[in-house]
Structure 1
């Protein structure tokens, strides 16, 4: 009886030991696999930076804007680790070379320096041409994302978003410019296009399809022929000619075309943190908002959400409660805007002068 009891106890211990060993092995297996998967996912998100080319369009008239970009989302680390190219019309005698040399890759287009259609369409053609040239050297490029010099870009959010999308399929990603679409002349059809003011991304597959239509000699001419701006014409090519629909993510791509009371004044800190781009209109904000937004996002990344939220609510509500701060404002970072403003002031002064003279004549007659 005692022998039977001892054997039973021994068998029982052996079964328990085997059961625990199997469970431990299974736990180790799943944990290892999970770590491998998370490692793969992390690498996938990280390595996407090598597969994206970023273009930032500027002008020699607006070179001081670059200070705000370097103080915010375009850090030294970004310049070292990303395929970022600064595209400008020309480098002139008034160009701040120290500022420009902060960017590793600067491309001159020699396009006209105005903000007219021919200028914009010319620069857009050069952007596409640059991508095709780079793709010969860097065959791994999957995305082209282009932005303006008055935009804030959350690169981490951009990388995470694009890492989930298959670039071997045609994708046209951005923010819808006009609700209801743009009507095509001599047709009842309409099409949507992504406003360049919010940033736009094109997949490698779509860029292949676009190539015959965006040649430097062809694109500007057809752009003017259709009477469209560069972003509207690109939307026409993609949606109407190539039959590829815009992937609109209006909740994460933001432009200067949004109304203040419906957008920025009501953004929560979460909106700010999860956004991919923010555009700023020269007649509403000065660009020193860019580094402020960048610091707020960094606070969240450092697990200081409450501090960031208090600061954000204070800044947002202060701006909301002081509308006088937005009156008669313009972007002092662009010489061209200063000229336009001066011309506008001179024109208004002439009008006022004529009104006064007319009033004096009327008084004399009476």
Structure 2
């Protein structure tokens, strides 16, 4: 069965932020896989099939969950096609190109022709996913680790997973009253279970998310926290393996990199906040200012364009 939706976002208010909230009709007790819109019965052993009523949903998920069960939606902007998008296309996209569609505010036939990437202006996607994950386009997403982490949570329960950028709840006014809540920063990544996403629809569908943003006068990741933590009362599950540019990325050790779900980079006001690749860097800082190329070669040294000799 389709299990996961990943989104990468570059604007303050993503145009397709709410597409996951239209989910409905997923039956969690059937033993079927969704492949290209067709329901196919799972292959189970005779003993397992005879006792199909006693198998738990989580057990089935562990049997079937893999990269082919993930739809990855990368949301970007035309102004980043030549910079941020090019780095993604050269690195982690190659690990999941068949599962990935890019959503942008501009058509780019040249980029599509040269890379083979699927780039669409608008698309509401598939409705058979169990998770929605929302990332920024300055994130490196470790897809293998993401699958492993989410397989440990039940998508039929309310889960709001990520990492806060503040050490205290944020406060603002809503309809003349002071409210406070925890929120996961979009810069590190946010994952929301289907159960929770469906409950969010009251606050999110048919333009209501934009209205919610305007009501509290805060960006989209804060608004998600407002809806989930303050309105719905669901707590944030903090994951230290979700990383944003707001952290000191140099503090992440080389031996910790493979266990991270997301990593990031920034170069604000002359300060370069990137991973310290030390003696494993495949490229110089001038060749690889984000360090994503070196990071990708560290995780996937078999890639043909990775230098055999570290520099």
CA contact (8 A) 2:169 2:181 kept: yes
Considering fraction of residues, name the structure with more strand.
2
2: distance between equivalents of 1:71 and 1:248?
30
Q: Deviations over 1:294-353 (max 9, x none)?
A: 111224x99xxxxx9x96xxx8xxxxxxxxxxxxxxxxxxxxxxxxxxxxxxxxxxxxxx
- Could you tell me how far 1:52 is from its partner in structure 2? 3.6
Tell me which residue corresponds to 2:197. 207
2: distance between equivalents of 1:246 and 1:212?
19
Task: Name the TM-score, length of structure 1 as normaliser.
Answer: 0.56
Moved over 4 A (4+): 40-43, 186-189, 285-288
Larger radius of gyration, structure 1 or 2? 1
CA contact (8 A) 1:49 1:159 kept: yes
Structure 2 counterparts to residues 160-179 of structure 1, below 5 A:
160-179=148-167
- Could you tell me how far 1:201 is from its partner in structure 2? 1.0
Tell me which residue corresponds to 2:4. none
Q: Secondary structure at the match of 2:71?
A: strand
Partner of residue 250 from structure 2, selected from 265, 283, 288: 265
Considering fraction of residues, name the structure with more helix.
1
Please say if 1:78 is aligned against 2:67: no
1: distance between equivalents of 2:79 and 2:105?
9
Give unmatched runs, 5+ long, in structure 1. Answer: 1-39, 110-125, 303-307, 316-366
- Could you tell me how far 1:213 is from its partner in structure 2? 1.7
2: distance between equivalents of 1:224 and 1:275?
34
Q: Deviations over 1:37-56 (max 9, x none)?
A: xxx99983773434443232
Partner of residue 103 from structure 2, selected from 82, 87, 101: 87
Specify whether residues 237 and 146 from structure 1 end up closer, same or farther in structure 2 by C-alpha distance, changes over 3 A only: same
Tell me which residue corresponds to 1:297. 299
Tell me which residue corresponds to 1:274. 259
Task: Name the TM-score, length of structure 2 as normaliser.
Answer: 0.65
Give unmatched runs, 5+ long, in structure 2. Answer: 1-57, 274-287
Tell me which residue corresponds to 2:215. 225
Specify whether residues 53 and 46 from structure 1 end up closer, same or farther in structure 2 by C-alpha distance, changes over 3 A only: same
Specify whether residues 287 and 181 from structure 1 end up closer, same or farther in structure 2 by C-alpha distance, changes over 3 A only: farther
Specify whether residues 167 and 41 from structure 1 end up closer, same or farther in structure 2 by C-alpha distance, changes over 3 A only: closer
